[in-house]
């Protein structure tokens, strides 16, 4: 077997979803890639020699956007297109995360000129294959809604039940049966009704709810079967 010199770089990219005022957003940065042309792209960059993949993606997020994410899930590895990055042969390991974007302060740093939350249906043509990465992240998000209560990561700690309903409808892109949805979600036992009411200027006061993390984890250990049919 002849010796073969391999010059392949490993990168990480992050699809970070946020939710505000019934709209789903993706975190994007704007920067230059070896030319005078400026592009929007996902936060990310090359993995350093002395760090793991998850350390790399957390570092890039913090450096480029000032966002710190506790939980990131590996999405997919992009590298079949050997020309995906015209500068070098780069394989990217993509991750996705869900955050309450209202609590975060964005700051562009290192090689990012700008950073912004962009509505999911207003995403421009991104650098490399990042549009494909976003679409795969969105599909993963839609799928996970049906078997894991991940929507709570996008909402404030205390929320109106209507906010939870609207979140699901925003992500799947269609109406749901609100009555059955409410009955099903409350039947699991990990959504707690508080004694607090939302500050509504008009209409009937509505109580706030919260997601009981410890109860969900207890039920998860017991083998809770979480399934929501949204069709």
Check the CA dihedral 135-139-145-150 and report its sign: negative
* pTM score, whole prediction: 0.88
How does 70-89 read in b/e, with b if 16+ C-beta sit within 10 Å? Answer: eebeebbebbeeeebbeeee
Surface-to-core class of residue 198, CB atoms within 10 Å of its CB (0-12 exposed, 13-18 middle, 19+ buried) = middle
Is CATH 1.10.10.10 the classification given to domain 146-221? yes
CATH no., domain 9-144: 3.90.79.10
Domain ranges in the chain are 9-144, 146-221
Mean pLDDT by runs of 10 across the 231 residues of the chain is: 73 95 93 69 95 96 91 90 76 93 83 89 93 96 88 90 93 89 92 87 81 90 80 57
pLDDT at 88: 77
């Amino acid at each position: 077997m002849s010796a073969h010199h391999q010059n392949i770089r490993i990168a990480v990219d992050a699809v970070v979803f946020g939710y505000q005022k019934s709209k789903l957003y993706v975190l994007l940065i704007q920067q230059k890639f070896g030319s005078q042309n400026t592009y929007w792209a996902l936060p990310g960059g090359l993995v350093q020699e002395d760090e793991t993949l998850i350390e790399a993606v957390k570092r890039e997020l913090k450096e480029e956007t000032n966002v710190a994410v506790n939980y990131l899930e590996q999405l997919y590895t992009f590298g079949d297109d050997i020309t995906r990055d015209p500068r070098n042969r780069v394989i990217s390991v993509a991750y996705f995360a869900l955050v309450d974007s209202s609590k975060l302060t964005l700051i562009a740093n290192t090689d990012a000129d700008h950073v912004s939350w962009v509505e999911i249906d207003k995403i421009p043509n991104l650098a490399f294959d990042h549009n494909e990465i976003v679409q795969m992240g969105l599909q993963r998000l839609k799928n996970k809604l049906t078997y894991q209560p991940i929507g709570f990561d996008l909402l404030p700690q205390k929320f109106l039940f209507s906010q939870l309903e609207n979140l699901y409808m925003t992500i799947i892109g269609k109406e749901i049966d609100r009555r059955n949805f409410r009955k099903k979600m409350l039947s699991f036992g990990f959504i707690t009704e508080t004694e607090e009411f939302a500050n509504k200027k008009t209409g009937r006061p509505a109580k706030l709810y919260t997601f009981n993390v410890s109860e969900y984890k207890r039920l998860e250990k017991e083998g809770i079967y979480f399934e929501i049919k949204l069709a």
